[in-house]
Amino acid sequence: MSGSIYDEVEKVIDFESARVGPRSDFPPLPEIPGGRYTSPDFHELEREHVLSKSWVCAGRDEDLRKPGDYRLWDRLGVPLLLIRGKDDKLRAFYNTCRHRGAPVVRDGSGNTRLLRCQYHSWSYGLDGKLKGVPDERDFPCLNKADRGLIEASCDTWGGWVFVNLDRDAQPLMDYLGPIVSELDCVGMEKLRTIHVQDYPIACNWKVAMDAFLEVYHINTIHPTNAGIMLDSKAAAMGLMEGGHSRMATRKRMNEGLNFVEFEGAPDIPSMPDFYRLNNVAYMMFPNLITPVEPTGFPILLFWPDGVGHCTMQAIYVAPDWGEGERPAFWDRFLPIFHDVLQEDMMNLGPIQRSLESGGFTGMMINYQERRIYWFHEEVDRCIGPGRVPAGLAVEQLLEPFVEQPLSEAAE
C-alpha cells in the first residue's frame, strides 16, 4: 500500500468518526434474505460456483518446502494431495488413483520419492505422471501419458498455499488484486506458524463470516477487550473488486490494552505505523478474514459443514524468533484472542436457529455493515443471476463504491 493510500484511509477514518449519518450518496441496503442461510439448494450452488471456483487457502507451506513433502487436505469435501515436486513446484492432485479410485497416499503428511497406490501399487511421480503399472500387459488400451493424477490449480503467496478446483482459474495474484501489494510490507513468507485451532459452529458459514465483517457489535459483545481496544465509530470500509474488502478501525492507544502496547510484544519492523495505530482486517473472498497486526496475527478460514454447520479454522502466524521457545507474548495473546472468538461465536448458533424458525426473515444491514452486503453480492455474481433461486438474490448496489476516493466527503 502506498503512502498516499495510507493517507486516504486515515482521512476516511476521520470522516467516519465525525459523520452524523451515512454518506448522502449511499443507498439504503435491502434485507439479505434469510433463506440464503438455510436453503439446501442455495448451499449446493455455493459449493459448485463459489467455493469450488475460487482460490481458497489451504494453510502454510512450512511443511511443504522440500521435494517430496506432501500433505493431505480435504476442507472442500474432496480428497486433495498437496506435494512439492523435484522441480520445486507445489501441486495439488486428487488423492485418487486412476485405476479404481483408491488413495495414493494414506498418511496425513510426510515425504516420499514416489506415490504408490495403496490398492494395486500403481505408481506416480511427484509430478503426478503415471510411472508404473503391475501386469501392464493386461491393460492393452492403457496410455500411461493420459492416466496421470488429476490436478487442481495450486499456487502460493507469502508462504500461504492456495488451491482452486477450477483448472481454468485466473492466476492467484490477479485474483487477490491490490491486497497483495498492500500486504507486501508484512513479509508473509518470513512468518512462522505458532498455533492452529478449529472451532466447530452450529451455523451456516455465511452467518459466521458476517460476524467478522463489521465492528458495530464490539461494544456489546466485547466490552472487556475489543470494545476497549478499538473505536468502532472510527472505521473505514474499503470495498475491492472480486468481493474482497478492508476494514481499518482506529485503536485507542496509550491505555496499554492493544497488543502492540504489550511489554515484549513482537514486531514486524517493515510494517508502517498505519498498522500499529489501526486494526486493519482484510477479507479475501470467499472465506478468509485476517486482522493484520505487526505483532503477528491469525488467518481465519470458514469452511461449510453442511447447510447449518461450519468450522472456523484459526491459523496464527508470528515473526520468526529463531531458536528456543516462542516469546512469552503469545501466552498472553492467545487466551485473549480465544476469548474474543468465543464471544463472537456465542450468538451464531442462536442466529441460525432464528433463521430456521420462520420467525426471522433476514438480515437488516446498516451502513457500517456494508462489507457484509458486498460479500453477498459477490456470492451471487459467482453463482450467476440466472441460477439464484427466486426470493434469495441480493440486489447489486455497491459496485459504484468500490475503493472510491472519499476526499470530498472527508472534507
| 35-54 pLDDT per residue, tens | 999 999 999 999 999 999 99
Are residues 185 and 89 both part of a single domain? no
**DSSP assignment letter at 170:** P
Are residues 130 and 243 both part of a single domain? no
Are residues 292 and 343 both part of a single domain? yes
Q: What is the pLDDT of residues 101-121, one digit of tens each?
A: 999 999 999 999 999 998 999
Residue 256: closest CA among 248, 266, 265: 265
**DSSP assignment letter at 109:** E
210 domain-assigned: yes
Q: Say what the pLDDT of residue 408 is.
A: 40
The count of domains in the chain is 2
What distances in angstroms separate CA 40 from CA 11, 44, 240, one per listed residue? 43, 6, 29
CA atoms within 13 A on the CB side of 355: 25
Are residues 188 and 326 both part of a single domain? yes
111 domain-assigned: yes
Are residues 244 and 329 both part of a single domain? yes
Of 96, 129, 164, which closes a domain? Answer: 164
Of 114, 139, 164, which closes a domain? Answer: 164
Are residues 94 and 228 both part of a single domain? no
Beta bridge partners, 221, equal none
Are residues 44 and 60 both part of a single domain? no
Distance from C-alpha of 309 to C-alpha of 126, rounded to nearest angstrom: 36
| DSSP-derived 3-state class of residue 49 | helix
Indicate which CATH number applies to the domain containing 42.
3.90.380.10
175 domain-assigned: no
169 domain-assigned: no
How are strands ordered across the β-sheet holding 115-116? Answer: 115-116, 123-124, 130-132
Q: Say what the pLDDT of residue 224 is.
A: 83
In this structure, what C-alpha cell is assigned to residue 221?
Answer: 459483545
Q: What is the pLDDT of residues 383-401, one digit of tens each?
A: 998 999 999 999 999 999 9
Are residues 283 and 334 both part of a single domain? yes
Give the position of cell 441460525: 352
Amino acid (one-letter) located at 144? K
Of 111, 135, 164, which closes a domain? Answer: 164
**Residue percentage of the chain with pLDDT more than 90:** 88
Q: Say what the pLDDT of residue 2 is.
A: 53
363 domain-assigned: yes
**DSSP assignment letter at 37:** G
Are residues 129 and 34 both part of a single domain? no
**Max Cα separation, the chain?**
79
Q: What is the pLDDT of residues 269-316, one digit of tens each?
A: 999 999 999 999 999 999 999 999 999 999 999 999 999 999 999 999
Is 333 buried (19+), middle (13-18) or exposed (0-12) by CB count in 10 A? buried
Q: Say what the pLDDT of residue 229 is.
A: 86
Residues 201 and 311: beta-carbon distance below 8 Å = yes
In this structure, what C-alpha cell is assigned to residue 146?
Answer: 493420459
The boundaries of the domain holding residue 107 are: 56-164
The average pLDDT across 206-231 equals: 90
Indicate which CATH number applies to the domain containing 154.
2.102.10.10
21 domain-assigned: yes
CA-CA-CA-CA torsion for 156, 158, 160, 163, nearest 10 degrees? -30
What band does 404 get if pLDDT is binned at 50, 70 and 90?
Answer: low
Average of per-residue pLDDT values in the chain: 94
The average pLDDT across 20-32 equals: 93
Beta bridge partners, 84, equal 90
Residues 213 and 245: beta-carbon distance below 8 Å = yes
**Residue percentage of the chain with pLDDT more than 70:** 97
172 domain-assigned: no
Terminal CA-to-CA distance of the chain, rounded, Å? 22
Are residues 47 and 103 both part of a single domain? no
The average pLDDT across 125-135 equals: 98
Are residues 91 and 238 both part of a single domain? no
Does the pLDDT at position 410 exceed 60?
A: no
Least confident of 8-22, 70-84, 202-216, 219-233: 219-233
173 domain-assigned: no
Q: What is the pLDDT of residues 57-89, one digit of tens each?
A: 999 999 999 999 999 999 999 999 999 999 999
Are residues 133 and 261 both part of a single domain? no
Distance from C-alpha of 315 to C-alpha of 296, rounded to nearest angstrom: 11
